[in-house]
């Protein structure tokens, strides 16, 4: 089953307590695509500038990512710089140069119209809706968003939320979106906006899934060292949607297993800078860590 993702493609400058990386490939669409690629064929939609090396596209294609939905525009690729604090839970954005991402106008290639699993990474909610409308018969749709759109594009955001099956969002954003401090009540308020499935990402504390059958709590994997948290949330989403597509079911059991696969991919992602962990990661390691998650939670 095919997975479609739309989102940013970027060059990142990253500083963490473990080191730094400059101009490395990043962006939600890349993290998502690579994570999901371990489970299903992925179709990526995004924009890059004239400075974007073909080698990056080849890297994605080597992982089974269809890149025909990534178009090239005259100008610079989106650049982002961030510095993580000692706790790794907080980061300061050092700069954001939108470049060609500013005029991003996602149009799906004809071959993408039949995509069955659609993920709308964090872009303007109107663009998310535009992509959604081009997918003819998706089996499952989900989206992410951020504080910037919650504050600045509330109406468009609610229109898009009303159309998706699932929302994957972090705890602070869930509170901001609903004005509810308590997460159980916040999720109730989110569901009244549309999504029947809500996943709350809590960073080092794991994730909560709210579905038709109740609540599922997934831990984060306890790691001795985290090199770089960048992309953990998008890798989670990629693992989650990818695993759902591979299993082909949407019952509560499938959703729970997919949340664990999402957590597995996020846990690998943060072990190295940028996307580096995905250069070496093998499917067998993913299955092994999935088993570790079972050992971590069984009583």
State in angstroms the smallest separation of the CB of 215 from a copy of itself.
5
The residue from 218, 250, 272, 275 that contacts a copy of itself (CB under 8 A) is 218
Residue 101 has what DSSP assignment?
G
The residue from 61, 91, 163, 202 that contacts a copy of itself (CB under 8 A) is 202
Q: Residue 218: helix, strand or coil by DSSP? A: strand
> What Cα–Cα distance (Å) separates residue 18 from each residue in 25, 125, 190?
18, 34, 37
The partner residues of 14 in beta bridges, in order of sequence, read 21, 82
Does 214 bind a copy of itself (CB under 8 A)? Our answer is: yes
Report yes or no: 35 and 275 within 8 Å, Cβ to Cβ.
no
State in angstroms the smallest separation of the CB of 224 from a copy of itself.
5
Report yes or no: 100 and 76 within 8 Å, Cβ to Cβ.
yes
Closer of 76 and 172 to a copy of itself (Cβ) = 172
The residue from 215, 249, 288, 291 that contacts a copy of itself (CB under 8 A) is 215
State in angstroms the smallest separation of the CB of 93 from a copy of itself.
22
Alpha-helix residue ranges (DSSP H) falling in the chain: 28-36, 54-62, 125-134, 147-152, 154-161, 171-178, 183-191, 232-247, 252-269, 277-280, 283-297
State in angstroms the smallest separation of the CB of 70 from a copy of itself.
34
State which of positions 64-93 bind a copy of itself (CB under 8 A).
86-87
Q: Are strands 91-97 and 78-84 parallel, antiparallel or unpaired?
A: antiparallel
Closer of 191 and 256 to a copy of itself (Cβ) = 256
Radius of gyration of the chain measured on its C-alpha atoms? 18
Does 217 bind a copy of itself (CB under 8 A)? Our answer is: yes
State which of positions 234-273 bind a copy of itself (CB under 8 A).
253, 256-257, 259-260
The residue from 20, 113, 154, 185 that contacts a copy of itself (CB under 8 A) is 185
Task: Return residues touching a copy of itself (CB under 8 A).
Answer: 86-87, 181-185, 202, 205-206, 208, 214-219, 222-226, 253, 256-257, 259-260, 294-299
């Amino acid at each position: 089953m095919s997975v479609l993702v739309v989102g940013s493609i970027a060059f990142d400058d990253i500083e963490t307590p473990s080191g730094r990386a400059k101009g490395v490939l990043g962006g939600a669409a890349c993290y998502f695509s690579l994570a999901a690629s371990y489970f299903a064929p992925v179709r990526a939609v995004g924009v890059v500038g004239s400075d974007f090396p073909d080698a990056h596209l080849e890297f994605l294609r080597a992982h089974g990512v269809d890149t025909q939905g990534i178009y090239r525009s005259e100008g610079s690729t989106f650049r982002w710089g961030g510095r993580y604090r000692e706790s790794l839970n907080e980061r300061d954005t050092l700069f954001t140069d939108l470049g060609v991402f500013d005029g991003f106008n996602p149009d799906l290639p004809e071959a993408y119209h039949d995509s069955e699993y659609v993920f709308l990474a964090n872009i303007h909610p109107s663009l998310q809706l535009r992509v959604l409308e081009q997918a003819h018969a998706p089996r499952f749709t989900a989206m992410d968003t951020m504080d910037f759109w919650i504050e600045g594009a509330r109406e468009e955001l609610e229109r898009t939320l009303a159309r998706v099956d699932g929302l994957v969002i972090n705890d602070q954003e869930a509170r901001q979106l609903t004005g509810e401090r308590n997460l159980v009540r916040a999720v109730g308020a989110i569901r009244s906006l549309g999504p029947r499935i809500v996943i709350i990402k809590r960073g080092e504390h794991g994730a909560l899934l709210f579905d038709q059958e109740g609540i599922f709590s997934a831990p984060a994997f306890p790691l001795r060292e985290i090199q770089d948290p960048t992309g953990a949330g998008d890798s989670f989403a990629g693992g989650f949607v990818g695993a759902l597509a591979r299993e082909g079911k949407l019952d509560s059991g499938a959703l729970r297993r997919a949340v664990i696969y999402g957590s597995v991919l996020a846990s690998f992602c943060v072990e190295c800078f940028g996307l580096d962990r995905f250069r070496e990661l093998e499917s067998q390691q993913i299955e092994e860590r999935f088993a570790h998650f079972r050992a971590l939670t069984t009583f």
